[in-house]
Amino acid sequence: MPLSAAEAQSTNKNPQACAVILAAGKSTRMRSELPKPLHPVCGVPLTGHVVRACRDAGIERVVVVIGHQADRVREGLGDDVEYVLQTEQLGSGHAAMCAEPALKGFHGAVLILAGDVPLIRPQTLESLIAAVGGDEATAGGRTAGAMLTARLDDPTGYGRVICDEAGNVVKIVEHRDATPEERAIKVVNPSIYCFRAEGLFEKLHQIGTDNDQGELYLTDVVGIASAAGERIAAVPIEDAREVLGVNTRAELAEVTRLMRLRILEGFMREGVTVVDPATTYVDATVTVGRDTTIEPQTHLLGSTTIGERCTIGPMTVVKDMRIGDETAIMQSRVIGGVIGSRVRIGPFAHIRPGCSIRDGARIGDFVELKNSDIGEGVAASHLSYIGDADVGAGTNVGAGTITCNYDGYKKHRTVIGKRAFIGSHTTLVAPVHVGDGAMTAAGTVVTEDVPGDALAIGRARQATREGWAARWRSARERHGDG
Ligand code: UD1
Ligand code: CA
C-alpha cells in the first residue's frame, strides 16, 4: 500500500461542528504580491493545510473568510470550501462576524481559526471541539467555548492569555496593548478557538475598537464571555510548534521545514528509508511505498506517487510522476509522466513532461526524453534526445541518437518498432517510421521510412589513404613547425 503523508488521521467525524478560517487579512509583513494564504508550504497553499486539518478532523462545513485579493485566494484554494467576503479589513473579530449570514440557523460548535497556522493537527482540533461539548465541560458554569493555548519561551508578538485560578480564560491581551506585567506572561493565543454557535455572534457584535490598532479584535469575544459569567476553557497544547503562525518569510521557511520533517517522519513510520531528512524535500501530496529508499538531496514534488523497493536519488528531482516498484532513479530530473517497474534512470537524465517509460527500460546519462512512449526493456543508455517518439519494446537506442522532431513550425513524431537497433549517432528526421527489427547504421541520417528487418545506412562513404598521416607528420617536421 502506498502511504500518504496526508492520510486522514481521524475516524470520528464531527458533523456537529463547522469551521471558519480567517484569511482576509492584508498580510503586510509578508511583503508579497502573492496573498499569504497562497504561499506554498510543501506544495500546498498555506491556508490549504488548515482546510485539510479541519477536513481530517471530520468537519464537513468549512467557511473561509476572504477579502484582500479575494478572487485570487478563492481560485488558489479551490471550490471545495465555502467563501464569505470581508470587504474591509477591520480586524479578526470583524472577519469572524462576516460568517454570520452563512451560519444562520447553525447549532453546534464553531471552530474559528486563523488561516496562517498550517501545522495544526486534526487530533488537536478534535480535542478542542471535545472540550466545548460534553456534560463534564459545563461543570464550572456554562461553557461558551474553548481555545488552544501555547507556552512560548519568546512570546513576542502574540496575544497573551490571562487565566483565573481554575485555569479558565479571563481575557486575551494583544502584545502591543499589554502592560509589562502582561508581557511577562508566556502563555499565548495561537488563534484557534471553538465556540458554541448560540450567543457567538451576539458577543461578536459587542466588540469595540478600543485598542492600539483601532481594530475589531476576535480575542475580545473571550473577555466578553468571561465577563458574562460564561466559561472559556483553555486547552494547552504540548508541542507549541504545532501552532506556529506565519507572518513573515522567515516564519514561512521555519514552518515549511517542520512540515517537511513531519511528512518524512510519517514516511519512515510506514517503512520508507529516508537517508537524510535534512536534505530531502517533499510535498504533502506525495506518497511513497514501503522499503523505498530516498537518498540525500532529493525533491519529491507535486502529485508524485512512488511504489515499493525503489531507490530515488541522490540529487534527484521528481515531480508529478507515477512510478512503479523496484525502479531506481539517480541524479536526474523527472517530471510529469509515468515510469513502470524495474526501470533504471540516470545519472544525469532529463525526463520532461508527457513520457511513459515502461517496465525494465534503461535511460542512461545525458539522455533527454520528452512526450515519448518508451517500450518495455528499451535501452537508451547515453547522450540522446528523444522527443515526440514511440519506441517499441526491446529496442536499443545507440549513443548520440537524435530525433529531429521540430522543423521550425511544427512538431513531428518518430515511430520506432520493437526490437529495432538504432546505431550510434543516428539522426531521425521526423516524421519518420522505423519498422520492427530494423537497424540503422551508425551515423545514419534517416529521412525515409525504414521497413521492418531492413538496414538503413545513409552516410558519406569513407575514403582511406594508406600512409597519408605519416607523410603529413614528416612534412611538418621537415619544415620545423611540428
Ligand atoms: C492574532 C491574534 C493574537 C494571536 C495571533 C496568533 C487577534 C486580534 N490577535 O494576531 O492574539 O496571538 O493571531 O497568530 O486576533 N484577518 C482577517 N481580516 C482582518 C484581520 C485579520 O481575515 O480584518 C485574518 C488574517 O488573515 C489572519 C488572522 O485573521 O489569518 C489573524 O490576523 P493577523 O493579522 O495575522 O493577527 P495577528 O497579529 O497574528
Ligand atoms: Ca497571524
Q: pLDDT tens for residues 322-381?
A: 999 999 999 999 999 999 999 999 999 999 999 999 999 999 999 999 999 999 999 999
191 in ligand 1 pocket by Cβ < 6 Å? yes
Calculate how far, in angstroms, residue 35's C-alpha sits from the geometric centre of ligand 2.
13
Residue nearest to atom 25 of ligand 1 (CA): 25
pLDDT category at 6 given cuts 50, 70, 90 is very low
Residue nearest to atom 22 of ligand 1 (CA): 24
DSSP state of 141: S
pLDDT category at 3 given cuts 50, 70, 90 is very low
C-beta atoms surrounding 410 within 10 Å: 9
115 in ligand 1 pocket by Cβ < 6 Å? yes
Residue in 351, 350, 368, 274 with CA at minimum distance from that of residue 314: 274
* Atom of ligand 1 lying closest to residue 89 CA: 23
Calculate what percentage of the chain has a pLDDT beyond 90: 93
Residue nearest to atom 37 of ligand 1 (CA): 158
What pLDDT is stored for residue 179 in this prediction?
A: 97
Give CA–CA dist 47/80, Å, rounded. 13
3-state helix, strand, coil in the chain (%, to 5): 20, 30, 45
118 in ligand 1 pocket by Cβ < 6 Å? no
Probe ligand 1: pick from 174, 177, 191, 232, max atoms within 8 Å of CB? 191
Residue nearest to atom 31 of ligand 1 (CA): 114
For residues 341 and 323, the answer to whether their CB atoms sit within 8 Å is no
Burial of residue 471 (CB within 10 Å: 0-12, 13-18, 19+) is: exposed
Task: Identify the residue with better confidence: 322 or 12.
Answer: 322
Calculate how far, in angstroms, residue 127's C-alpha sits from the geometric centre of ligand 2.
22
What pLDDT is stored for residue 453 in this prediction?
A: 98
Write down the mean pLDDT value for the chain: 94
User: How far does CA 99 lie from the centroid of its chain?
Assistant: 29
For residues 206 and 126, the answer to whether their CB atoms sit within 8 Å is no
User: Sign of torsion, CA 57 58 63 68?
Assistant: positive
3-state secondary structure of 288: strand
What pLDDT is stored for residue 141 in this prediction?
A: 60
For residues 267 and 283, the answer to whether their CB atoms sit within 8 Å is no
247 in ligand 1 pocket by Cβ < 6 Å? yes
pLDDT category at 283 given cuts 50, 70, 90 is very high
Calculate how far, in angstroms, residue 191's C-alpha sits from the geometric centre of ligand 2.
8
C-alpha cell at 173: 491581551
Q: Is the pLDDT of residue 148 over 70?
A: yes
pLDDT category at 480 given cuts 50, 70, 90 is confident
Q: What angle do CA 48, 193, 157 make, to 5 degrees?
A: 80
What pLDDT is stored for residue 481 in this prediction?
A: 62
What pLDDT is stored for residue 135 in this prediction?
A: 45
160-185 tens-digit pLDDT: 999 999 989 999 999 999 999 999 99
HSE-up of 448 (CA within 13 Å, CB side)?
6
**Could you give the residue numbers annotated as active site?**
382
Calculate how far, in angstroms, residue 174's C-alpha sits from the geometric centre of ligand 1.
10
94 in ligand 1 pocket by Cβ < 6 Å? yes
Q: Is the pLDDT of residue 2 over 50?
A: no
pLDDT category at 16 given cuts 50, 70, 90 is confident
* Atom of ligand 1 lying closest to residue 158 CA: 12
172 in ligand 1 pocket by Cβ < 6 Å? yes
Give CA–CA dist 17/181, Å, rounded. 37
Give CA–CA dist 83/102, Å, rounded. 9
Amino acid at 296: P
What pLDDT is stored for residue 140 in this prediction?
A: 52
C-beta atoms surrounding 156 within 10 Å: 8
For residues 94 and 53, the answer to whether their CB atoms sit within 8 Å is no
For residues 346 and 363, the answer to whether their CB atoms sit within 8 Å is yes
301 in ligand 1 pocket by Cβ < 6 Å? no
For residues 281 and 262, the answer to whether their CB atoms sit within 8 Å is no
Residue nearest to atom 34 of ligand 1 (CA): 25
Q: What angle do CA 385, 387, 389 make, to 5 degrees?
A: 120
Calculate how far, in angstroms, residue 119's C-alpha sits from the geometric centre of ligand 2.
13
Calculate how far, in angstroms, residue 197's C-alpha sits from the geometric centre of ligand 2.
24
What domains appear along the chain, each with residue ranges and CATH number?
A: 3-243 (3.90.550.10), 272-456 (2.160.10.10)
Ligand in nearest proximity to the CA of 158: 1
3-state secondary structure of 23: strand
69 in ligand 1 pocket by Cβ < 6 Å? no
User: How far does CA 91 lie from the centroid of its chain?
Assistant: 30
119 in ligand 1 pocket by Cβ < 6 Å? no
pLDDT category at 4 given cuts 50, 70, 90 is very low
Ligand in nearest proximity to the CA of 93: 1
95 in ligand 1 pocket by Cβ < 6 Å? yes
Calculate how far, in angstroms, residue 23's C-alpha sits from the geometric centre of ligand 2.
10
For residues 56 and 9, the answer to whether their CB atoms sit within 8 Å is yes
Q: What angle do CA 424, 428, 429 make, to 5 degrees?
A: 155
**Phi/psi of residue 438, each to 5°?**
-80, 160
